[in-house]
Amino acid sequence: MPFGGSLAATGILDIPKQRIVTYDLQTLRGDIFGGLTTMVVALPVALGFGVASGLGAAAGLYGAIAVGFFTAIFGGTRALISGPTPAMAVAMAVVIASHADTLAEALTVVMLAGLMQVLLGFSRVGRFVAYTPHVVVSGFMSGIGIIFILIQTLPFVGAPNALGGPVAALRALPDAVSNINVSAFVIAAVTLAVAFLWPRRLTRFAPGYLVALLVGTVLGVVWLTDAPVIGEIPTGLPELQVGMPSGTFLLHALQPALILALLGSVNTLLVSLVADSLTGGRHNPNRELVAQGIGNMAAGLIGGVPGAGAPLGSVTNIRSGGRTRASGVLYALFLLALVMGLGPYLEPIPLAALAAILMKVGWDIIDWRLLSRIHRIRREHLIVLLMTLLLTVFVDLVTAVAIGLIAAGLAHALQLQRLELDSVVSVPFLDRVFFGGQESAGTPDSLAARVGMVQLRGSFTVASSHKLVEVIGDDIKGHEVVIFDFSKTTYVDDSAAMVIERLIGVADSARTPCIVMGLSGSVADTLHTLDVLRNVPKSRIVGSLDEARRVAKELLAPQSAPPDDD
């Protein structure tokens, strides 16, 4: 493709080596069926996400078309389907409620988010998303699922959505229940029942979401006609939403735009991993971020909901036969054809039916596999999971992800601390063993152990640095000579290096001479660069145990010499 080729020299859009798909008639048939099936499944979800975002049902379709089309063309993941997602819809609702006064301002945030995703792709940060701890992802996605369930409780009983997220929905729920629209409630209940009870074996012929939507719509059109409906949907191509916001607003828009960009990027790359596992391929994360950014900028230009990699659509596409990017392009074109000619037929769809479908989507998003094992999760991981989940539901998405990552990092640091401290060996050497019985070492007690060795094996980071002094400080003070053995040390970060300087200081304060042994490679570079060994004479920095033994004998010899007879 021209876009990928023009940037090939940068390496950003290079496609990793993977199994090549021979494009033949069978592959084309699979892509057509995959794109068509995905369009059917994604239609009610896109409408619902458009309503949930605050931009309207049509915006959900426009976003699905724009993001789905451009990410399929420029993306780096085979058979990935992109479009409005729960996280992006919720985040967009927050943007509209808290950061934008007009539609033009809200869409400006979307375009800025797309631009940031492009920049993230060019900065090659995509590969780091794979290291996001599962408990953070699980807590975040489960929180999103709960948010959708809570928010949709109002339209489920026929009440309008409340601004302010799930907390506002819970506060408004008692009044909504007391003024319940019975028709809307019946439609929602039947739709939800169909979505849950539709047999899995029949989904290959008719997806459960679509059947549930049809049943709910028929109820609303034929019998229960007083339930609130979607209303007018524009037909034809969407108009360009071009506006020039003020410089002050652009500065304020950077924060919500960054939120959308990060949420969309993390969501997409995690779904890319899922797609890889189903297709046997290997995605290019940086190329995928660039493509997602282009898609979201296009969505902002035509008034669409921002999107990301959609797990439901991607899995449906792959399981229905889609194997290449053509399936994603066809999915977007099928949606475009629907908007061009069938828009009026979507207007009578009851909002209660969409609410029921979105509640089922929220239920499916919750990570029940991990939550069912919650009693077996390590305590620190359980804290991270619950903290991320609760912050997602009751505070905001960015705070949840940020604090979740910090808490997960601390939990990981505790685990690293245990592993790193287990690699510290403090050994007292008997004189008769260490010096081989040589009298030159001089001691009347054959069981004396005047020399101690501190051996640091493996890597040492900030995780264990603050504990090193506490663990081996007393051992250092208990000997007349201490040897620091770095021969099996592979890595020392700056924090651990400074603590090694403190250990040497502990030895100096106890008048215990230090010998440094086995320095090499990056460990030596770090210690010398930070001037950690400035108080250790060069004669005491040795390469082997034999040299350390010789220096130790010299240090102990004056203490073992007999006193003068004067």
Residue 65 in this model has a pLDDT that exceeds 90: yes
Helix (H, G, I), strand (E, B), or coil: what is residue 428?
Answer: strand
Query: Per-residue pLDDT averaged across 375-398, rounded?
Result: 82
Alpha carbon 431 to its chain centroid, in Å, reads 55
Position 427 scores a pLDDT of: 66
* In contact, 209 and 39? CB cutoff 8 Å: no
Identify the band that residue 473 occupies on the pLDDT scale cut at 50, 70 and 90.
Answer: low
Position 437 scores a pLDDT of: 54
The rounded percent of the chain whose pLDDT value lies above 90 is 14
Phi-psi region of 550 (alpha: psi -120 to 50; beta: other; left: phi over 0): alpha
Angle of helix 397-421 relative to helix 462-477, nearest 10 degrees, comes to: 30
Tell me the pLDDT of the chain averaged across its residues: 79
Tokens describing residue 61: 């379709």
Highest-scoring range by mean pLDDT, 129-138, 181-190, 210-219, 434-443: 181-190
In the DSSP assignment, the letter for residue 129 is: G
* Tens-digit pLDDT profile for residues 333-352: 988 988 887 767 777 888 89
Position 189 scores a pLDDT of: 94
Position 253 scores a pLDDT of: 82
DSSP secondary structure of 28-54: HHHHHHHHHHHHHHHHHHHHHHHHHHT
Of residues 22 and 43, which shows the higher confidence score?
A: 43
Per-residue CA distances from 470 to 210, 414, 486, 499, 509 (Å): 63, 16, 19, 11, 15
By the 10 Å C-beta count (0-12 exposed, 13-18 middle, 19+ buried), 243 is classed as exposed
Beta strands in 77-161 (DSSP E): 82-83
pTM for this prediction: 0.66
By the 10 Å C-beta count (0-12 exposed, 13-18 middle, 19+ buried), 125 is classed as middle
* In contact, 92 and 106? CB cutoff 8 Å: yes
Identify the band that residue 451 occupies on the pLDDT scale cut at 50, 70 and 90.
Answer: confident
Position 7 scores a pLDDT of: 46
Position 553 scores a pLDDT of: 84
* Tens-digit pLDDT profile for residues 228-253: 887 766 677 777 766 667 777 788 88
Residue 11 in this model has a pLDDT that exceeds 70: no
Position 34 scores a pLDDT of: 81
Residue 442 in this model has a pLDDT that exceeds 70: no
Identify the band that residue 71 occupies on the pLDDT scale cut at 50, 70 and 90.
Answer: very high
Position 294 scores a pLDDT of: 95
Angle of helix 521-529 relative to helix 494-509, nearest 10 degrees, comes to: 70
Query: Per-residue pLDDT averaged across 262-273, rounded?
Result: 82
Q: Torsions phi, psi of 442, nearest 5?
A: 60, 100
Neighbours of 139 (CB within 10 A): 31
- From CA 540, how far away is CA 348, in angstroms rounded? 86
Position 117 scores a pLDDT of: 93
Neighbours of 249 (CB within 10 A): 16
* Tens-digit pLDDT profile for residues 503-554: 888 888 888 888 899 888 888 888 888 888 888 888 888 888 888 888 888 8
Q: Positive or negative CA dihedral for 138, 144, 145, 146? A: positive
Residue 181 in this model has a pLDDT that exceeds 90: yes
Position 233 scores a pLDDT of: 64
Identify the band that residue 6 occupies on the pLDDT scale cut at 50, 70 and 90.
Answer: very low
